[in-house]
Amino acid sequence: MLPWMLKLKEKYGDVFTIYLGSRPFVVVTGYDAVKEVYVDRGDDFLARGDLLLLDTLYNNYGVVFTADVERWRELRRFSMATLRNLGAGKRKTEDYVLEETQFLVDELNKNKGSFFNPQHLMSKVSGNIIHLIMFGNRQGYDDKEFNSMLHCIQEILFLFSTGSGQLLGMFPRIMYFLPGKHQKVISSLEELLKYVKRKLEINRKMLDKNNPRSYVDAFLIKMEEDRKQQTEYSLPNLECSTLQIFMAGVETTSATLTYALLILMKYPNVLAKVCSEIDHVIGHDRIPKVQDQYQMPYTTAVLHEIHRFTDILPMGVPRKTTKGLEFRGYFLPKGTNVYPLLTSVLKDPTCFLYPNEFNPENFLDEYGEFKKNPAFMPFGAGKRNCMGETLSRMEIFIVLITILQNFKLKSEVPGEDLDINPKASGFGNIPKPFKISFIPR
């Protein structure tokens, strides 16, 4: 579906209408038009657009996928405040990430330089960090229930990006009864919700109202405070918000980390420059800190370029107009579904010198210093952007730098044979499987 949309852009321009089933969607492409939707006129496009399968599963509950703007406002406010109180984007969360990277280093040392696909291991790292924030504890890398849950999340993102998965999203009431791989999406989502419910019950039994350890604890306390009132602090909102934040926090970050390893092996000159900057700024005698990146302009540019090039969620999430309005010469009635294509921004040739290739110079000035670019919006932009952007970017910096401090990367095949094109491209861009060896320095 995504390549088809981009071809229509070439023919019809930055704004055009498509039909997904019987529902019209206005597709918006290019930095200027998408910025107008997300930022300049953000309140006019603040409602979440139709996602029929997820609406069926979540019944309009949860902070990420609710279509109710007032419900979203309240849950977003609570979630952002709670994550700040728990230290998201601050030193406490940085300690979580640093601690988890040491478990990762130990795990990589156990492999003794053997080749393996790193995707699931990267999921364990990002999964444990978000598990700590959401539930207050981490899981062992050998925990069967934890690994099964991570596998479900990987499978959902992949299947949603295939043809049958996209048909499921468009025609859930029909596809639900048809056989095929898309059925695994439904069963995996149901299994994930069961996992969250089991974890919530454990937190409820262990809850210390005077010492909340996690997002779930804070929500349970708020539920108790508001139990005699009709508010958004209900069990369905807790269950769905927890699952939605958890899924978003695991797979997008782990997919970016996996892709980063593949790209660095593909471009050894880039890898060598990053390693040189690590040696100069951090060395090998101390752990990396978030503030180190401000002295590492080339590495910062590389990480931005990895986010831009990998384009993990190319379609973004659809929006819906909150009122009737004029937009770029067209009248959009209230409730019109709008798809702002993030990929068209991240690869906009008017914003990036090398839009369709991996090149850190997209974020470097003529002096080799890091250069910001307003079209860098892999996490969306405006009021309804990704809540976990700060956490995700922190994770990717610390985890990747720690890996390069401790290991040399070796590909199973020659670098020129590595394929950095996605295995599937739709709702997400999924890297093709590859094997890597981490050789201790």
pLDDT tens-digit map of 246-290 = 998 898 899 999 999 999 999 999 999 999 999 999 998 899 999
The DSSP call for residue 291 is: G
Residue 286's CATH number: 1.10.630.10
Is 42 a member of any domain?
A: no
Alpha carbons 436 and 262: distance in angstroms, whole number: 8
The maximal CA–CA distance of the chain, rounded, in angstroms, is: 65
Cβ contact 298:281 at 8 Å: no
Tell me the two tokens of residue 235. 């069990």
Backbone angles phi, psi at 295, to 5 degrees: -105, 10
Q: Does 414 reside within a domain?
A: yes
Domain contains 5: no
- pLDDT per position as a tens digit, 291-346: 999 999 999 999 999 999 999 988 888 999 999 999 999 999 999 999 999 999 99
Task: Give the whole-angstrom CA distance, residue 239 versus residue 81.
Answer: 18
Is the residue at 26 inside a domain? no
284 or 361, which is more confident = 361
Mean pLDDT value across the chain? 90
Amino acid making up residue 332: L
Q: Which of 51-55, 166-170, 376-380 has the lowest mean pLDDT?
A: 166-170
Residues 6 or more apart whose Cβ sits within 8 Å of residue 228: none
* Residue 60 resides in a domain: yes
CA distances from 301 to 212, 276, 308 (A): 38, 14, 10
Domain membership of residue 44 (yes or no) is: no
Count of the separate structural domains present in the chain: 1
pLDDT at 41 exceeding the cut of 80: yes
Please give the DSSP secondary-structure letter assigned to residue 433.
P
**Cα–Cα dist 413/410, whole Å:** 9
Decide if pLDDT at 424 tops 90. Answer: no
Whether the predicted model's global pTM rises above the 0.85 cut: yes
pLDDT of residue 435: 96
SS3 23: strand
The DSSP symbol for 367 reads T
Rounded to 5°, the CA angle 253-416-119 comes to 25
In a domain, 34, yes or no: no
Residue 390 one-letter amino acid: T
DSSP class of residue 228 equals: T
**Would you place residue 120 in the very low, low, confident or very high pLDDT band (cuts 50, 70, 90)?**
very high
Token pair recorded at residue 379: 């996490």
| CA proximity to 389, closest of 219, 248, 237 | 248
pLDDT bracket for residue 100 (50, 70, 90): very high
Residue 283's domain comprises 52-315+348-440
- pLDDT tens per residue, range 155-200: 888 777 666 666 666 666 666 666 777 677 778 888 999 999 999 9
